[in-house]
Structure 1
Amino acid sequence: MTGSEPRPAGPPPTAEPTLREILGGRGGAVDASVPVAAFVAAWLLADGLTAAHAVAWGAAAAVLAGVVVAGVRLAAGRRVGAVLFGLLGVAVAALVALRTGRAVDFFLVQLVTNAASALAWAVSIVVRWPLLGIIVGTALRQRTRWRRDPDLLRGYQRASWVWVGQYLVRLAVFLPLYFADAVVALGVARLVLTWPLIVLCVGLSWPALRTALPPGHPGLLHPQGVGDTPQGR
């Protein structure tokens, strides 16, 4: 073989997955929207009944829709824990509305969880355990090795602020509608700000994370410990 002859090509490098690929599709967010749509639709159809009966119809429709979604997802092989957790959320929301007799309180659980999530994500950033890093690190089976990489840690912190913003946007929309007792508007807002907002959040998180990594950093799949030198850095 002469020096002018091309060398055999090695195996192609492994493409780095995006956050969208790591975190999964939008199926879970869509599933969460179905019971909400069922509740609002049944509540509207029962408009001629008393308020308590209309709420009861809406709650029953939401739980039934949640059971159907859970059955479909279990048949498709989705994890039992995730399916049951989603169904539990629907059941709790329905019980709250039944307890108070107010249709708008079906969304109270969502308000509380968004406020708690915004606080949890913000605190995780401040204490240098950003939740996005924990989630992605677990998905990639890295445990906590990403925390030993100051660049990845900074990137996960920066990208986690996007998720804090997601929850704050929902609260900014939901709270005025809740206090205005706007059930239909809340239902529409809940649908619009579920999977479309999550898709947008994931899309914005990726560049926020990648731009925090210096040139030559090997990426999410290869956290660098203290003292390691990425190629080309």
Structure 2
Amino acid sequence: MARRNPKPDASLAHILGGHGGAIDATVPVVGFVLVFTLADSASWTSPIAWAAGAALLTAVVIAVVRLAGGKQPRAVLFGLLGVAVAALVALYTGRAVDFFLVQIVSNAASALAWAVSIVIRWPLLGVVVGTLLGQRTRWRRDPDLLRGYQRASWLWVGQYLVRLAVFLPLYVADAVVPLGIARAALTWPLVALCVALSWPVLRSALPEGHRGLRHPAEGDAGSRSAT
């Protein structure tokens, strides 16, 4: 009996790149919360400005380190831009909790985008992995692989919904420190979990003998239509 190729398991984790970027996004948040708590308790002038400055400085240091390490400039600049926009929002509104508003909106938009992509049969996990593998849209011509990407993409919808379920009540309660802790606890751990579970869930849709992510079946070679 033909056996599934075990290699795509490791390949998928490698393709998705782990959770280094999520950790980078968390560090400026920790800096913001720590400095804001210190400045507020010490009655410094403009504690939000101090906290925003700390977040931006931390983000700049991370960006310089990542660029020196050979990371793609576009990814680094997007991360830096996200921190800058969050800091500007907090400074504009004068509410420290609004530093997290961009993250909340981003999670809501991401959950919607991933869910819609599944419904219209363009699951974003397939788009991302197919692009990174240089397959373009070939994976969509494999009904089993398409169905697998749809199933696995629900994991990514779930991570955004989990964050929203935790973040929104804390945001409404103006709980800056708990929100910062929740942001750190639910960012890179959830990303790592999704990366780890994506292949087993995707594999559940593939029949025995399927050659895996790197070798999508063409045309009618897939055994069933995606659902």
Instruction: Give your verdict on TM over 0.5.
Output: yes
Q: Please name the residue that 2:136 is paired with.
A: 143
Corresponding position of 2:203: 210
User: Higher relative contact order at CA 8 Å, sep ≥6: structure 1 or structure 2?
Assistant: 2
Q: Which residue of 1 aligns with 2:214?
A: 221
C-alpha RMSD of matched pairs (Å):
1.5
How many Å apart are 1:193 and its aligned residue? 0.4
Q: Is the 8 A contact 2:142 2:220 kept in 1?
A: no
After superposition, give the CA deviation of every residue in 1:95-135 in whole Å (9 maximum; x if it has no partner): 00000000000000000000000000000000000000000
Which of the residues 160, 163, 171 maps onto 2:153?
Answer: 160
Q: 1:111 and 1:227 mapped to 2: Cα distance?
A: 42
Unaligned runs of 5+ in 1: 1-12
- The 5 A counterparts of 1:183-194 are 183-194=176-187
* Cα distance in 1, alignment partners of residues 220 and 161 from structure 2: 38
Three-state SS of the structure 1 residue aligned to 2:66 is helix
Counterpart CA distance in 1 for 2:222 and 2:108 is 40
Q: Which amino acid aligns with 2:182?
A: A
Larger radius of gyration, structure 1 or 2? 1
Per the alignment, residue 43 of structure 2 pairs with: 49
Q: Which runs of 5+ in 2 are unaligned?
A: none
Q: Which amino acid aligns with 1:49?
A: S
Count of residue correspondences? 217
Deviation at 1:25, TM superposition (A): 2.4
- Higher helix proportion (structure 1 or 2): 2
Deviation at 1:18, TM superposition (A): 3.4
Aligned to 1:83: 76
Which secondary structure does the structure 1 equivalent of 2:221 belong to?
coil
User: Which of the numbers 177, 189, 213 marks the counterpart of 2:170?
Assistant: 177
Partner amino acid, structure 2, of 1:218: R
Query: In the alignment, is residue 62 of structure 1 matched against residue 75 of structure 2?
Result: no
